[in-house]
Amino acid sequence: VDVEESAPTAAPPEERPIGYGRLKRKEDPRFVRGKGNYVDDVLLPGMLHGAVLRSPFAHARIVSIDTSAAEAHPKVKAVITGKTLEGLGLAWMPTLSMDTQAVLATDKVRFQGQEVAFVVAEDHYAARDAVELIDIEYEPLPAVIDARRAMDADAPVIRDDKEGRTDNHIFDWEAGDPEAANAVFERADVVVRQEMLYPRVHPAPLETCGCVASMDPVEGKLTLWETCQAPHAHRTLVAMVAGIPEQKIRIVAPDIGGGFGNKVGIYPGYVCAVVGSIVTGKPVKWMEDRSENLMSTSFARDYHMTGEIAATRDGKILGIRADVLADHGAFNGTAQPTKYPAGFFHIFTGSYDIEAAHCKVTGVYTNKAPGGVAYACSFRVTEAVYLVERMVDCLANELGRDPAELRMQNLLRPEQFPYENKTGWTYDSGDYPTTLRKAMDIAGYEQLREEQRRRRAEGKPMGIGVSFFTEVVGAGARKHFDILGLGMADGCELRVHPTGKAVVRLSVQTQGQGHETTFAQIVAEELGIPPEDIQVVHGDTDQTPFGLGTYGSRSTPVSGAAAAVVARKVRDKARLIAGAMLEVSPDDLDWEKGRWFVRGDPSAGKSIQEIALAAHGTLELPEGVEGHLEATTVYNPPNLTFPYGAYICVVDVDPGTGVVKVRRFIAVDDCGTRINPMIIEGQVHGGLADGVGMALMQLIGFDEDGNCLSGSFMDYLLPTALEVPDWELGYTVTPSPHHPIGAKGIGESATVGSPPAVVNAVMDAIGVRHADMPLTPSRVWHAMHGGVGAP
Ligand code: CDP
């Protein structure tokens, strides 16, 4: 349901969609015709296929590995084990959190599904068959599955590969001011405390992970087609890990079937495919199957949180505290900037004007798959938003207050921006009350509460859940944010060819977000060249400038800014050339979209296309201007951007079965200047579906021995069109003051903001303070009947 008409008509034109607005996506003709080109579509002459042998145990010592039967298979070309890799110095690789991860296990296996051997064969089926022929003797060890037991004195030490290790502790990290927080908690009238788990979930992109590695033995050049969100970072990491000179590595990320954080890291299968290509002298393809993807690639969340909120009797929130135990699995593979082992959990004070805050996070190893990636969110902000938005509802419950009204009382006010929060982050811009009011108007909030009272009287549980979230996206700046020491600034390159058609080259990597359309729109807006005349190039390190890739909704805040800046550089250069063409001083020229003209004489002007031709022609160029019309830039953002939104969810709960039906979902987002409203809506729709999924059905579960219980889509449930309602969207526009076009990110807002709205709605329906996600029928039923610990 499109309720865009209700957008603030008072917004000045420059705050409306830019660069042709609702342009249909340039990339879609190839997708709807089945002409997309994914990694698994790459076929090379003589290509071989790899398959991984994985551990059946969560924790076991490897006694022996016998590969002789596999090697004797007529179609097998190579069998690689940890021992083979040890010889090459590749048995272990660095993780994105400066830890180490086994590429193929040598000493022990540390989670079920861990990579133990790699077979290269003539075809995929032979590789899989030969994997079955490898004989491994394991000595099973007790496993640590519950993070709350990881630091017990008798817990087995998982990372005994690290010298001197005697426990499973990874890090302690804190933010805020503990004394100030204690002081407000002591004088508060009301303190509410609640434990909650943000369970382990998985990004589950429709395209699983994989690669094709092709080592050219003559040139010494490695080409790696990869499912990858950050090609340039991968090239540098491959150079560091494999010792291949960086200029001899080309990473190609073709069409990507969804990433959501799952394709940020480097997986052992990629390293094995490279080694396979080196040892066989042939290209090697490795694509994981669905179970491998769910069981062994980066999970998300797994935060055990205790929240505390302090307030006055009349509902003024004074302070928030959080204590978190973070389950990082067997290798610390979380994708976080080095300074922030708990990512952007700092934003746990949310959207409220409070006096003090403090949080502590402790990370531990367990015998589960490594990861902890930002699944459609910016580095742990999802966990933070869930915590604070659940805590505000717990407080409303304690005080007997309406949760929307309590939020309205405590939201930051527009005049407080830029606002420095209590953990040191400066929110760039916002008008929170207007956004919440708008969501309440679209929902018909008062009528909904009236309907709820009526239905309750009839014994029909209906719930209304509210959440208000502040996201934090756009990492850099490079001095604060990095991946493995690589700063998060983005390069961008723009060339206008003699006929006035342009090519813009990006370091970010679309995975379905529509960059080929929106980045053309940004350049079109700045130069007046129509978007169809602008080709967007990305996904190939030989073709694009360096940058850190796409995750945490950073494409628009960082590379989008770079695209605007580089287009402005070209525009400035065009001005000098237009001055020479018109034989006037460039200072006497004015710009209107697409042309420079003589001030006071609009008929005397030159279009950007005419200028481009002249720049490549025989015109005598002004002093200091080189020929051609092109520019490059590296954009290092001065701050993050802070998109936000108000969400309202309406649910009905079946009192007999505990089944939750999401009846309505109202989402009002503010992502600053909107480039393409249609793409924004698509991003929000996807994120809301994600949120309903996480709140109600998605869970990577384990039994007590560490067997993964969610290794297929029969057990790891994704929401379909049947489980989600027609979304009701609205928006407000509060541009970011420091972004060249005022845009903030949007890709992940809905995934971040929607789970607490759904959970708040279910708790509101059943009159229970808290039950953990996923709110499956069984959990809801048990919660309704006085127990919250149901499976
Ligand atoms: O980094 P990622 O592409 O995942 O997220 P994003 O920067 O939030 O952008 C997602 C998509 O929405 C891109 O195609 C953006 O250009 C588009 N977008 C937009 O049209 N207007 C905005 N203010 C923000 C994003």
pTM, two decimals, is 0.96
How many Å lie between the centroid of ligand 1 and the Cα of residue 288?
Answer: 29
State the Cα–Cα distance between residues 167 and 157, nearest whole angstrom: 5
State the Cα–Cα distance between residues 769 and 442, nearest whole angstrom: 27
Average pLDDT, the chain: 95
pLDDT category of residue 20 using cuts at 50, 70 and 90: confident
H helical segments located in 458-547: 515-527
Calculate mean pLDDT across residues 677-697: 97
Cβ of 679 less than 6 Å from ligand 1: yes
Calculate mean pLDDT across residues 47-62: 98
pLDDT category of residue 483 using cuts at 50, 70 and 90: confident
How many Å lie between the centroid of ligand 1 and the Cα of residue 503?
Answer: 19
How many Å lie between the centroid of ligand 1 and the Cα of residue 541?
Answer: 22
Mutate to test the pocket of ligand 1, among 228, 373, 556, 733 (most ligand atoms within 8 A of CB): 556
Q: What residues have CB less than 8 Å from 783, skipping those under 6 apart?
A: 658, 766, 768, 771, 790
State the Cα–Cα distance between residues 569 and 638, nearest whole angstrom: 19
701-751 per-position pLDDT tens digit:
999 999 999 999 999 999 999 999 999 999 999 999 999 999 999 999 999
Give the DSSP H/E element, type plus range, for residue 105.
none
How many Å lie between the centroid of ligand 1 and the Cα of residue 680?
Answer: 7
291-307 per-position pLDDT tens digit:
999 999 999 999 999 99
Sign of CA dihedral 670, 673, 675, 676: positive
How many Å lie between the centroid of ligand 1 and the Cα of residue 79?
Answer: 43
Calculate mean pLDDT across residues 139-160: 98
State the Cα–Cα distance between residues 205 and 112, nearest whole angstrom: 21
What per-residue confidence (pLDDT) applies to 335? 86
pLDDT category of residue 6 using cuts at 50, 70 and 90: very low
- C-alpha closest to that of 762 among 648, 663, 651: 651
Q: What residues have CB less than 8 Å from 583, skipping those under 6 apart?
A: none
Cβ of 672 less than 6 Å from ligand 1: yes
Calculate mean pLDDT across residues 647-672: 98
How many Å lie between the centroid of ligand 1 and the Cα of residue 555?
Answer: 7
Q: Is pLDDT above 80 for 117? A: yes
Cβ of 513 less than 6 Å from ligand 1: yes
State the Cα–Cα distance between residues 200 and 188, nearest whole angstrom: 34
Calculate mean pLDDT across residues 133-142: 98
> Do residues 390 and 196 lie in contact, with contact meaning Cβ atoms separated by under 8 Å?
yes
> Do residues 188 and 319 lie in contact, with contact meaning Cβ atoms separated by under 8 Å?
yes
What's the distance, Cα to Cα, between the start and end of the chain in Å?
A: 36
Three-class DSSP category at 356: strand
Cβ of 536 less than 6 Å from ligand 1: no
484-540 per-position pLDDT tens digit:
899 999 999 999 999 999 999 999 999 999 999 999 999 999 999 999 999 999 999
Cβ of 680 less than 6 Å from ligand 1: yes
Cβ of 25 less than 6 Å from ligand 1: no
Would residue 281 be called left, alpha or beta, if left means φ above 0 and alpha means ψ between -120 and 50 degrees? left
Q: Is pLDDT above 60 for 791? A: no
Least confident segment among 436-440, 484-488, 686-690: 484-488
State the Cα–Cα distance between residues 213 and 224, nearest whole angstrom: 5
- C-alpha closest to that of 183 among 349, 350, 358, 353: 358
Mutate to test the pocket of ligand 1, among 488, 555, 670, 690 (most ligand atoms within 8 A of CB): 555
235-266 per-position pLDDT tens digit:
999 998 888 999 999 999 999 999 999 999 99
Three-class DSSP category at 198: strand
State the Cα–Cα distance between residues 205 and 193, nearest whole angstrom: 36
State the Cα–Cα distance between residues 315 and 408, nearest whole angstrom: 11
What DSSP designation does 247 have? G
Other C-beta atoms lying within 10 Å of the C-beta of residue 726 = 10
Three-class DSSP category at 113: coil
pLDDT category of residue 2 using cuts at 50, 70 and 90: very low
CA-to-CA dists, residue 265 to 1, 333, 356, 509, angstroms: 37, 8, 36, 14
> Do residues 646 and 438 lie in contact, with contact meaning Cβ atoms separated by under 8 Å?
yes
Q: Is pLDDT above 80 for 13? A: no
How many Å lie between the centroid of ligand 1 and the Cα of residue 554?
Answer: 8
In 654-742, where do the E strands start and end? 660-670, 727-731
ipTM, 2 dp: 0.98
State the Cα–Cα distance between residues 552 and 374, nearest whole angstrom: 7
Calculate mean pLDDT across residues 547-560: 94
- C-alpha closest to that of 700 among 385, 384, 371: 371
What per-residue confidence (pLDDT) applies to 643? 98
Calculate mean pLDDT across residues 155-169: 96
> Do residues 245 and 561 lie in contact, with contact meaning Cβ atoms separated by under 8 Å?
no
pLDDT category of residue 11 using cuts at 50, 70 and 90: very low
CA-to-CA dists, residue 406 to 319, 348, 566, 756, 763, angstroms: 15, 17, 45, 16, 17
Packing angle, helices 561-582 and 608-616, rounded to 10: 70
CA-to-CA dists, residue 254 to 4, 258, 648, 654, angstroms: 34, 12, 38, 46
